[in-house]
Each structure stands twice: as structure tokens, then as C-alpha cells.
């Protein structure tokens, strides 16, 4: 175990892509997407659909991290030389090779499940490239923080649609596509909750060259945005689960989590310590898991 912890790739993932944190959230997301779509079409969940949805979702998030390492290399070298790539722990060329391997894995799983998924995969890749290039207007975007965030968060609806399509595409049920929009809307807001939550810091944790939302907007606005996105996500989840006639888990679970998270956020706003800011980041993941559980996992067991 000691040798594993000393491995540079173990260190890299711990600092930049903590697998143990991502796996539960991505598993909840991918299972929920397939589960929701399967309920819509009135069929059973396929193991291959679940695996493909999870593998593709996990590798897309890994590719996002790899793309960010390339995009932010110069800025990280200037302001954050302690990060793994600037300090020489891993090389950009090594990450690029891993990225190519992940793309091949995605294509293989798409072809095995259903070849009609491949065009959707290409759309996700195209958007990843556009994000890597900051839509060829990086300087303009960086001056408009909300636009910047939303433009990058739009990868979520693309991934959401692909994940749900892992269920209905093999069955040729593309007619169900419009009906997953409420699921996608709720998931999009969950993404914003996670994005904002991980950049709500204590004053002593702010870094030069790092534009956190707590620094840009202030704690009061951050609190309202974070809580507001959870509340709106909950509403969309109510609509989505009502659409499949299985809303009871959402009605019971989500208001409880929302109240708890809101109280914790108010505590952070009044007392923005490192501990309280870290708690917000953790609770962002908790909200996401609970929402996906209510959307498409628990409804599988409620008839």
C-alpha cells in the first residue's frame, strides 16, 4: 500500500482527479440516466447500457481534467507551480496519450452497445475541443464570468443525453428523446451546484490568479446562487419524476437535503472558515448523488 501511495499517478489523481470522490457521483449519474430512460420506455435496465454509460461518463470527466491541464499550463506554471504538471510530476504528453486511449475506449463501448451512439460521441468530443480552445474567445469570456461558466457547463446536457441514450438507442426508441429534457435540466443545475460549490472558499484560502466565485461574486451572492440552483434542480426533478409517475422519493428526500445544505451554506456565509468552505464542496456532491438517486435509481424499485 505504501508503494501505491508513492506512485506518481496515485499522487496525481489524489490531487487533481480524486477517483474515490468521482466514482460515487458518476455512478449515481450514469445509473440514474439509464434508469430514468428505461422507465420511460417501460423496459428493463440493461447491464451493458449501465456499463457503457458509466465508462463514457467517467472518461469524459477525465478528459475534461486533461484538457484543463493543457489549457491552464502557462497560468498554473505562473501562479500554481505546486500543481503536479508544473512541478514535473507528470508530463502533458503523458496526459495526452492517456486522453487518446480514453477516446478509443469510448468508441469501442459505443460500437458494442449501438453504433448510432457514435455521432453523439463525436458531438461531445467537438464540444470538448471547443472548451479546450475556450471557444476561440478566451479573453472575452474571462471578462464575463457567468457566460464563461455556462458555456463550459453546457457539456453536461450533451453528456446527459448520451447517458440516457445508452438505454433507448439500442431499442431504437429515439422518440423518447424529448421526454428526457426535464432529467437533463435538473442534471445541468446539479453541475452548476458542484461547480460553484467547489469555488466557494474561505478568505485565507483564496489564491492569486485563481478566480473563485466567492472572490468574484462575494459570499452572499454565492450563497444565493448555490441554494437557488439546488432549489430549481429539485423543482425540475419533481417534474421529471412526475412524468414517469414515480415522484415520491424526490418529494421525501430532496426537501430534507435542501434544508440541511441551505443551513450549512448560511453558516459558511456568516463564518467562512476553511472547514465550512470544504463542507460546501462536500455537500455539493451529496446533493448531486441524492438528486440522481431520486431521479432514476429509487424509481426503479417503486411501482
Asked if the model's pLDDT at residue 2 lies above 80, the reply is no
* pLDDT at position 303: 66
Asked if the model's pLDDT at residue 166 lies above 70, the reply is yes
5 band by pLDDT with thresholds 50, 70 and 90: confident
Cell of 29: 449519474
Residue 64 near residue 127, CB atoms below 8 Å: no
Using CA atoms, how far apart are residues 91 and 10, in angstroms rounded to an integer?
14
Weakest mean pLDDT among 33-42, 72-81, 103-112, 246-255: 72-81
Using CA atoms, how far apart are residues 62 and 68, in angstroms rounded to an integer?
10
Phi-psi region of 217 (alpha: psi -120 to 50; beta: other; left: phi over 0): alpha
298 band by pLDDT with thresholds 50, 70 and 90: very high
Domains of the chain by residue range: 1-172, 177-303
Q: What percent of the chain has pLDDT over 70?
A: 99
8-state DSSP, 296: I
* pLDDT at position 66: 96
* pLDDT at position 193: 97
Mean pLDDT of all residues belonging to the chain: 94
- Could you tell me the fold of the domain covering 1-172? Tetracycline Repressor; domain 2 (1.10.357)
What radius of gyration do the chain's Cα atoms show?
19
Residue 191 near residue 167, CB atoms below 8 Å: no
Q: What is the SS3 assignment for 293? A: helix
Asked if the model's pLDDT at residue 142 lies above 90, the reply is no
Within a 10 A sphere around the Cβ of 172, how many other Cβ atoms? 9
Amino acid at each position: 500500500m505504501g508503494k501505491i501511495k508513492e506512485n506518481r499517478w496515485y499522487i496525481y489523481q489524489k490531487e487533481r482527479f480524486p477517483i474515490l470522490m468521482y466514482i460515487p457521483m458518476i455512478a449515481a449519474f450514469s445509473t440514474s440516466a439509464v434508469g430514468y430512460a428505461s422507465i420511460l420506455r417501460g423496459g428493463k435496465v440493461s447491464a451493458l447500457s449501465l456499463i457503457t454509460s458509466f465508462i463514457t461518463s467517467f472518461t469524459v470527466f477525465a478528459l475534461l481534467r486533461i484538457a484543463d491541464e493543457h489549457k491552464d499550463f502557462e497560468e498554473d506554471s505562473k501562479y500554481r507551480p505546486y500543481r503536479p504538471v508544473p512541478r514535473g510530476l507528470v508530463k502533458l504528453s503523458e496526459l495526452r496519450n492517456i486522453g487518446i486511449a480514453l477516446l478509443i475506449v469510448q468508441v469501442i463501448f459505443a460500437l458494442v452497445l449501438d453504433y448510432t451512439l457514435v455521432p453523439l460521441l463525436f458531438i461531445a468530443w467537438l464540444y470538448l475541443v471547443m472548451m479546450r480552445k475556450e471557444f476561440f474567445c478566451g479573453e472575452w469570456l474571462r471578462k464575463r464570468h457567468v457566460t464563461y461558466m455556462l458555456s463550459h457547463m453546457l457539456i453536461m446536457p450533451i453528456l446527459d443525453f448520451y447517458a440516457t441514450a445508452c438505454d433507448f438507442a439500442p431499442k431504437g426508441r429515439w422518440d423518447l428523446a424529448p421526454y428526457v429534457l426535464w432529467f437533463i435540466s435538473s442534471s445541468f443545475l446539479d453541475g452548476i451546484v458542484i461547480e460553484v460549490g467547489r469555488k466557494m472558499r474561505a478568505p485565507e484560502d483564496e489564491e492569486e490568479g485563481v478566480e473563485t466565485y466567492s472572490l468574484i461574486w462575494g459570499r452572499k451572492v454565492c450563497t444565493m446562487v448555490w441554494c437557488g440552483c439546488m432549489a430549481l434542480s429539485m423543482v425540475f426533478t419533481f417534474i421529471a419524476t412526475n412524468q414517469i409517475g414515480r415522484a415520491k422519493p424526490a418529494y421525501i428526500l430532496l426537501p430534507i437535503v435542501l434544508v440541511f445544505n441551505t443551513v450549512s451554506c448560511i453558516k459558511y456565509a456568516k463564518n467562512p472558515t476553511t472547514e465550512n468552505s470544504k463542507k460546501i464542496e462536500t455537500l455539493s456532491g451529496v446533493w448531486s448523488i441524492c438528486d440522481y438517486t431520486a431521479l432514476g435509481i429509487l424509481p426503479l424499485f417503486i411501482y
